[in-house]
Structure 1
Amino acid sequence: MSDSNGTAAGTSGSDGAKVVGVRDQDEVNAETKKVSSELYDLIAVKGTASKAGAGVRSCEGLDREKFYTMFHPWSLSATTDDELAQAMERLKAELPKHGWKIVKYGPDGSPAKSLELTADNDERKFGVHVSFWKARTVLGKPKPPMLMIDVVSGCYQVPDGQKVEHY
């Protein structure tokens, strides 16, 4: 379900963009937040989650007033690397039980070889990407271990008579 831009995919639109249906933007926004909450529950780590909200972006190659995708980037920091390493293994094991297909699991291409997981839920029209950043020092300051989570919906068209609200 993830295309080369990391967006959830479905049927083809013009210029290769993927349109998965017609849906009210508020409904997809609420579903995006629900998916993030479910992922938080599966991670099952009592850490500090960021407060970032969901956002909207245009679907590549399509009219930005009619087509949109919702995204919700957030992070979760913990006390130890081990807590988050276990959370990544838990996600790998549990996501398929909840309708997700693991597309990628392993080290990324960075010098740190951070562990990453990418999964798609074709039924719900969502994708997720999770990166595990181990504890590190940045500009002389210690940074806790962290999961970086990006949830993204498929590309939807707003119902007739509506325009995409960009925020």
Structure 2
Amino acid sequence: MTGMTYRNRPRRRAARPAAALAMTALTSLIALTSLISTTGCTAMQDDGLDYTPRKMSVKDAKDLVRRQSSVILDASGLRYETSNGSPDVSPCEKVEHGYRVKHFWKAYGPSREVLSAALQRLHEELPKRGWKVYRFEKANSKAQQMQLDVEDMKLHHTVTVEEDFVSRDPAASKWEKAGRDGLFITVDSPCYVDPQYRTGDQ
């Protein structure tokens, strides 16, 4: 979830002795090992996993994702309507019987001000509950609405919460003006393994 930046190409330097190169490689390996151990198992989402997936039944994984959604709702302070769909299961590529669970849902409020305040509350409250904030800024979208990205550092679920406000632009399309203001939430589990799971199972 963290961003990457490209630096200017460095100037060519003289060749380094073999012993120095070996020491540099060893130092890099130690640093990489330390990074993996501290950033959490969901650091990679392309299924080139840098962790061993836990064994868990699909049912239990879905229940856990639902509980994580409840944690988000509770921390937001919103006590209004939600559109709460069922969690979806998709395979972890290159992992035998591997899968992950996603839960998409939306929380509503009486006004945009209340919803924005709820997002701010999540930004402040979730770190107190063991979540790490990776991003809290305007989304890279046309609407430029606020987005929060966090990770549970114990269970390694990642969550994205975005302001999802209906456009007030007179030139906006009918589709952009449809719907209701709310916070759109995506809860994403790490990869799990269930020997009973087959691609396509829900």
Aligned equivalents of 1:51, 1:96: Cα separation in 2: 24
2:33 equivalent in structure 1: none
Structure 1 position 91 matched with structure 2 position 127: no
1:119 equivalent in structure 2: 150
1:24 equivalent in structure 2: 57
Distance 1:47 1:15, change over 3 A: closer
1:39 equivalent in structure 2: 72
Give secondary structure in 1 for the equivalent of 2:84. coil
* Partner residue of 1:149 out of 159, 168, 185: 185
Pairing of 1:66-145 with structure 2 (within 5 A)? 66-137=97-168, 139=174, 141=177, 143-145=179-181
Q: CA deviation at 1:19?
A: 4.0
Aligned residue pairs: how many? 158
Question: Greater share of strand residues, 1 or 2?
Answer: 1
2:41 equivalent in structure 1: 9
Give secondary structure in 2 for the equivalent of 1:124. coil
Aligned equivalents of 2:47, 2:166: Cα separation in 1: 42
Distance 1:109 1:25, change over 3 A: same
Between 1 and 2, higher relative CO (CA 8 Å, sep ≥ 6) is seen in 1
Give secondary structure in 1 for the equivalent of 2:119. helix
Distance 1:44 1:22, change over 3 A: same
CA contact (8 A) 2:47 2:92 kept: no
Q: Structure 1: any 5+ residue segments left out of the alignment?
A: none
1:166 equivalent in structure 2: 201
Amino acid at match of 2:201: H
Q: CA deviation at 1:51?
A: 2.7
CA contact (8 A) 1:11 1:20 kept: no
Give secondary structure in 2 for the equivalent of 1:119. strand
Q: Structure 2: any 5+ residue segments left out of the alignment?
A: 4-39
**Higher Rg:** 2
Give secondary structure in 2 for the equivalent of 1:16. coil
Give secondary structure in 1 for the equivalent of 2:150. strand
* RMSD value, Cα: 2.6
Aligned equivalents of 1:103, 1:82: Cα separation in 2: 23
Aligned equivalents of 1:3, 1:9: Cα separation in 2: 14
